[in-house]
Structure 1
Amino acid sequence: MQRNPYRHHRQHWKLFLFLFAAMIAAASLLYTNYLTKSLSKSERTKAEVWAMSTRTIVSLPDVNDEFISFIYAVRDSLSLPAIITDDTGDIIFWRDLDSTRTNIQTEASDTLSSKLVYDPGYFAKELAEMQRRHAPIIIELETAGQKWFVYYKDSDALRQLRIFPYIQLSLIAIFLIIAYTVFNSIKRSEENLVWVGMAKEAAHQLGTPISSLMGWLELARATFDTEDSTLFDEMERDVYRLEVVADRFSKIGSDPHLSNHNIYHVVKEYMDYFRVRTSGRISFELEGDQHVEAMLNVQLFDWIVENLLKNAVNAIESEGKVHISIHENIAKEEIFMDVSDTGRGVPRSNWETIFLPGFTTRKRGWGLGLSLTKRMVKLHRGQIFVKESEVGKGTTFRIILKSNLRYEPTQIG
């Protein structure tokens, strides 16, 4: 069963962050909607008062000047874009529209003969917008049942209030994205510092017993006269391997030094070491270009090969084959290294997630091998991915590195 012990904790705080953002968004939308409806009702009332004052002015022309002045003052105080039409839809009156569009001076050779006209396209557009937004306010005149229709549109304040929550939500989303990115970055930095510290401390602790083992081996050779013993040779190789591993951990967190090496020879040397320490039911094959070179840190590249070989062996349940091929793409100046096994295979849905820290299919696995492998490949300016895999048949990982110096073949003749 696949498991990731880190993902469970990450999802908790991500869910909390999402719910918190959803609550803010919902509260903002609800409150803004309440304000919008209240302001819309207020503007409707203002439009109705303006319509009634207009009806009073039109229907009662004989009232005293003081009352008419009062009605005009009330109407003019109600600033609201509006248009009045008659029964046939012709525009009778308007207010608070764009003055540059409602009064246009025609061109004429004689300034005295110029006159003001109106932009019919602008009026038609404004009237259509008002009709779409609000139902008209009807003014019934006293003359033969004639009716006028008052149309109005929202004020600038109301229009801005309608779009405000979307601006607010956009700013909140940007803030959450920034907070999420910063939190993730800080969290990764803290985790990296912990891992680096643990790795360096482990390397420091291993240094003394490894040195002692090397001394004891030398003493054992001298005591038992075993200069040609294969057993002691393999023990020395294992102790040397421990020294290499300790050195790897001591360099974690530092930029690796890369130098030019023959990839085929580096891989072959480690495969020969690994082969004798693995079950005889698993065969190992290495083929390809034996002269291609790239910039490598041998210790880290050995670690890459080690992780991929261990991953392949763990995927093979009983017996099978591990095959490594190395080829150069001369046109792209790249080196392809494919590591194939005849193991369980990986479902396509997991081709990307297998490189995440904590992902493992083993009951006792930490899920760090392929994640570390990907990081070390990146340190070599390369990339690694699942080239192909089929459940029950096996998997092929591909590493792509930039080639360095190519050998020049000897010309004959």
Structure 2
Amino acid sequence: MRVSPYEQPRIWKYLLLAFAVVIASGSLLYTNYLVKNIAQSERTRAQVWAMSIKQLLSSDDNDSYTYPSAVRDSLTVPAIVVDEKEDIKFVKGLDSTKTYIPMVASPGIKITQKYDPEYFKKQLTSMKGQHAPIKISIFGKKYWLVYYKDSVLLTQLRVFPYIQLSVIAIFLLVAYTAFSSSRKSEQNQVWVGLAKETAHQLGTPISSLMAWIELMKEKFNAEKDPLIAEMENDVRRLEIVADRFSKIGSRPVLETHSVYDVVKDFVDYFRVRVSNKINFEVAGSPSLKAGLNIPLFDWVLENLLKNAVNAIEGPGSIKVSVFGSKTKNQVIIDVTDTGKGIPKRKFETVFRPGYTTRKRGWGLGLSLTKRMVENYHNGSIFVKDSELGKGTTFRIILKAVQQESLVEAEA
């Protein structure tokens, strides 16, 4: 399948996105590997701490306290030791300001202190949710349980890669947006300049052709000759095309026109320039009016009708219906063909630059059509419905100028 130049940047974007996902996945996997190793190391230290407590409780020799005490005091992870009834016996690495609650007393009364039960209850619940306890035997048949939780370093390490990737993603998004905007602006300036220069270059030969046609009419007395009339129509069409290119890059002026009349005039011009196997029909009311720039709106109709003609293989029909809605103050134009249809998953894709089903197509027609309808006429265009092998309906919605003149019709 041939890849158009407009599809290539999109493919590169997908490849870069896939590469970014691989890097992010690798970073998360390596961080998880480090987290597991540190977590295992902390559990080992917690086990050693538990054994040091057991050693201190079971030893009667004061001289043997030195090493177990040093081991006990070296633990860096928060821990709580409880007995069989879950009464707290020892704590380590917790907030010292939460260890007790000062009781306010009157003068002459001794101040008593006690543990903060709510604080330790929350800490113990948190530890139970993180790790399985370490069981140590105390005084024969009795046992204590050592609960602990991750250190601050390990907790930060778990979160750090997500913060890091988020910051990098935001930076790349901002940089990509700025770069794309700058690049698109430069491209637009080039295309606008090229379009205006093309319109300027077309002006001279078009004027000459109009003059030659007038001379032919006078010389051969052919004022009503149908062939010369069609030649004149084509030259006027060239004038319209040149006018379109000259207006690229500037805001077009919208004037109030009968939508039905504009559509019918263009369809009448277009029908004699395609196969006579295709039947054209225009339905609607001339009273429906909207703000239009005729050269640009004719371009919209031309792209839709050409797209419909290309979709029809053999005999077929194209119907353009113009109707309105009083409740929404809209003028609606449906272009329906009996062509090969569009898959439902492609309803949005057909408007993207580069999408085409023709071997020699550039995939710009419907993309330009959408831009002219939405950006220049403040309307909308979409695929209303389509069925493979039966045909497609494109719908254009414009804001009506005169609401009282709208004719209600079935959508």
Q: 1:350 aligns with which of 333, 336, 346?
A: 346
Q: 1:214 aligns with which of 203, 210, 213?
A: 210
* Distance (whole Å) between structure 2 residues aligned to residue 137 and residue 345 of structure 1: 69
1:291/1:407 contact within 8 Å kept = no
Judged with a 3 Å threshold, the aligned counterparts in structure 2 of structure 1 residues 407 and 110 are, in CA distance, closer, same or farther, namely same
1:115 maps to which residue? 112
| Percent identity over paired residues | 56
2:100 maps to which residue? 103
Judged with a 3 Å threshold, the aligned counterparts in structure 2 of structure 1 residues 35 and 322 are, in CA distance, closer, same or farther, namely closer
2:381 maps to which residue? 384
* Distance (whole Å) between structure 1 residues aligned to residue 166 and residue 298 of structure 2: 49
How many residue pairs were aligned? 405
1:313 maps to which residue? 309
TM-score (norm 1): 0.85
1:39 maps to which residue? 38
* Distance (whole Å) between structure 1 residues aligned to residue 233 and residue 187 of structure 2: 33
1:225 maps to which residue? 221
* Distance (whole Å) between structure 2 residues aligned to residue 397 and residue 325 of structure 1: 11
Matches within 5 A, 1:186-201: 186-201=182-197
Matches within 5 A, 1:68-107: 75-105=72-102
What are the superposed Cα offsets for residues 153-205 of structure 1, whole Å, 9 maximum, x if unpaired? 22112111111122222233333444454454445445434433432333233
| SS in structure 2 of the partner of residue 323 of structure 1 | strand
Shift of 1:248: 0.8
Matched to 1:252, the amino acid is I
| SS in structure 1 of the partner of residue 357 of structure 2 | coil
For structure 1, which segment, 203-212 or 144-153, has the greater mean C-alpha deviation from structure 2 after superposition?
Answer: 144-153
1:262/1:290 contact within 8 Å kept = yes
TM-score (norm 2): 0.86
Shift of 1:112: 2.5
Judged with a 3 Å threshold, the aligned counterparts in structure 2 of structure 1 residues 220 and 300 are, in CA distance, closer, same or farther, namely same
Matches within 5 A, 1:4-403: 5-6=4-5, 8-60=7-59, 63=62, 75-105=72-102, 112=109, 115-141=112-138, 143-144=139-140, 146-378=142-374, 379-403=376-400
Matched to 1:352, the amino acid is E
1:127/1:151 contact within 8 Å kept = yes
Shift of 1:403: 0.8
* Distance (whole Å) between structure 2 residues aligned to residue 216 and residue 297 of structure 1: 29
Matched to 1:103, the amino acid is Y
1:292/1:407 contact within 8 Å kept = no
Judged with a 3 Å threshold, the aligned counterparts in structure 2 of structure 1 residues 52 and 256 are, in CA distance, closer, same or farther, namely same
* Distance (whole Å) between structure 2 residues aligned to residue 376 and residue 326 of structure 1: 19
What are the superposed Cα offsets for residues 2-51 of structure 1, whole Å, 9 maximum, x if unpaired? x6614641343223322331333233224423433443344345434544
* Distance (whole Å) between structure 1 residues aligned to residue 108 and residue 148 of structure 2: 35
Matched to 1:339, the amino acid is V
Matched to 1:337, the amino acid is I
| SS in structure 1 of the partner of residue 28 of structure 2 | helix
Shift of 1:402: 0.5
* Distance (whole Å) between structure 2 residues aligned to residue 376 and residue 362 of structure 1: 22
| SS in structure 2 of the partner of residue 116 of structure 1 | coil
2:409 maps to which residue? none
Pairwise CA RMSD: 3.1
Shift of 1:69: 7.1
- Structure 1: unaligned runs, 5 residues or longer: none
1:4/1:359 contact within 8 Å kept = no
Judged with a 3 Å threshold, the aligned counterparts in structure 2 of structure 1 residues 259 and 11 are, in CA distance, closer, same or farther, namely closer
Judged with a 3 Å threshold, the aligned counterparts in structure 2 of structure 1 residues 406 and 169 are, in CA distance, closer, same or farther, namely closer
What are the superposed Cα offsets for residues 212-257 of structure 1, whole Å, 9 maximum, x if unpaired? 2122222222322323322222211111111111111121122111
| SS in structure 2 of the partner of residue 233 of structure 1 | helix
Q: Which has the higher contact order (CA 8 A, sep 6+)?
A: 1
